[in-house]
């Protein structure tokens, strides 16, 4: 939605600790980035009929090769359970393979099929183009500084989540 709409209708909501309105919080800006990024990726991949999570699974398998579900979930920043439905859909489309004959269903290796590899290559090209567009607003050292700040911010929240008992750090 339009930021002006939120500014007019939601500025009453303030943070008691520091007086910041919801829209002034860095967390809100990061949420906007996350939502907008997901929307842009989804639109870019619409003709491939892939969700963002499915695209990330394909890209991850393209990079690391065969992987177990737990490793793939960590890399995709989701729980093992949340990985199940997207993997099932990718398997039904013959984009990934999970051999049923493996000795344990919990550790079945997941890999790209030939068709999955071709789709993953398309995903990588399109997502890389989006990434390049976003980076084009920054110059060398400025981009490095920005990335460093984002890494520090992410690290803080990962540690805060662990301290709060929200589970283990998902970052691989």
CATH number at residue 98: 1.10.10.10
Q: By C-alpha distance, which of 109, 120, 119, 123 is closest to 66?
A: 109
Residue 9's pLDDT is what? 46
Beta strands in the chain (DSSP E): 96-97, 111-112
Please check whether residues 98 and 59 belong to one and the same domain: yes
Are residues 6 and 79 located together in one domain of the fold?
Answer: no
Q: The tokens of 63 are what? A: 């990079």
Structure tokens, 17: 């600790």
Q: Which two tokens stand for residue 43?
A: 């639109």
The rounded distance, in Å, linking the Cα atoms of 23 and 32 is 10
Q: Is the CB of residue 69 less than 8 Å from the CB of residue 98? A: no
| pLDDT given at position 132 | 93
Instruction: Quote the domain boundaries for residue 111.
Output: 48-137
User: Residue 106 contacts by C-beta under 8 Å, 6 or more apart in sequence?
Assistant: 69
> What per-residue confidence (pLDDT) applies to 166?
79
CA dist., res. 48 & res. 105, Å (int): 28
For 151, phi then psi, to 5°, come to -60, -45
106 and 89 in a common domain: yes
Same domain, 64 and 110: yes
pLDDT at 46: 94
Domain identity same for 40 and 58: no
**Non-local CB neighbours of 150 within 8 Å, separated by 6+ positions:** none
Regions of the chain with pLDDT less than 70: 1-18, 101-107, 167-172
Q: How many whole angstroms separate alpha carbon 14 and alpha carbon 10?
A: 9
Same domain assignment for residues 26 and 53:
no
Residues 15 and 56 in one domain: no
pLDDT of residue 4: 53
């Amino acid at each position: 939605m339009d930021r002006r709409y939120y500014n007019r209708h939601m500025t009453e909501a303030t943070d008691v600790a520091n007086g910041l309105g919801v829209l002034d919080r860095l967390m809100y800006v990061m949420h906007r980035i996350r939502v907008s990024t997901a929307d842009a990726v989804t639109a870019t991949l619409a003709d491939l009929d892939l969700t963002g999570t499915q695209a990330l699974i394909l890209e991850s398998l393209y990079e690391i090769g065969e992987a177990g579900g737990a490793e793939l979930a960590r890399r995709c920043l989701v729980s093992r359970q949340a990985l199940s439905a997207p993997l099932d859909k990718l398997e039904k489309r013959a984009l990934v393979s999970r051999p049923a004959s493996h000795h344990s269903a919990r550790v079945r290796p997941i890999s790209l099929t030939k068709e999955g590899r071709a789709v993953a290559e398309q995903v990588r090209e399109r997502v890389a183009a989006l990434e390049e567009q976003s980076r084009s607003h920054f110059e060398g050292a400025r981009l490095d500084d920005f990335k460093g700040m984002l890494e520090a911010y992410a690290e803080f929240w990962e540690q805060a989540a662990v301290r709060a008992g929200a589970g283990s750090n998902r970052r691989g």
